Amino acid sequence: MTDRSGIFAGEDPFAIARSWLAEAEETEVNDPNAIALATVDPAGLPNVRMVLLKEIEDAAFVFYTNYESAKGREIEAAGKAAFVMHWKSLRRQIRVRGTVTREEGPQADAYYKSRSLKSRLGAWASAQSRPLASRASLMAEVARVTAQQGPNPARPPFWGGFRLVPSEIEFWADGAFRLHDRFVWRRAAAGENWQIERLSP
């Protein structure tokens, strides 16, 4: 039994994560839902980049991207990923590791429709992560897809969501003299009970 209390209290790590994010939304100036998403390429070399987390579900974390981007291809190949959310204003972070599957059904369609028209057209126009001749060529492609897709473009088949189901979630909060508080939740597989441990700073 761990001595969890205060901001660490609770029996549902997803509820704790939602609570921390809600607090961050009150204090972070920009993008409180930003995550540093880590993947590995076929040679095992890590890649990390900032992505916006769009939903904390009851059992998973959801974000959206171009499936043909570097991160999309690496996630598809490995089926696993990790991320960290860090809030300087709260002096807290959450680390997550687990398996990843696509979200490309009605939920992805609904999120795509909620984006601004320019962002929806941009998703069609950008061959994300691939070489680009110039900014002008990108804008020409935006103009082309705008004429082609019209004012209500459907979600591109190469763009959608990923759902990360964690096997490990760590909650970290800054402590005086670098004696931080850390609690890690681990489970062998989705649906199994969590094992919770306090970690040394």
97, 102, 178, 198: which one is catalytic?
Answer: 178
Instruction: Decide if 180 contacts 127 (C-beta within 8 A).
Output: no
Paired tokens of 16: 């704790």
Residue with tokens 């060529």: 137
91 in the Ramachandran plot: left (φ > 0), alpha (ψ -120 to 50) or beta? left
The DSSP call for residue 115 is S
Question: What's the rounded Cα separation, in Å, for the pair 76 and 162?
Answer: 10
Question: What's the rounded Cα separation, in Å, for the pair 54 and 111?
Answer: 9
Name which of 27, 181, 14, 29 is nearest 93 in CA terms. 181
181 in the Ramachandran plot: left (φ > 0), alpha (ψ -120 to 50) or beta? beta
49 belongs to the catalytic site: no
Buried b (16+ CB within 10 A) or exposed e, 8-22: beeeebbebbeebbe
The residues annotated with a catalytic role in the active site are 178
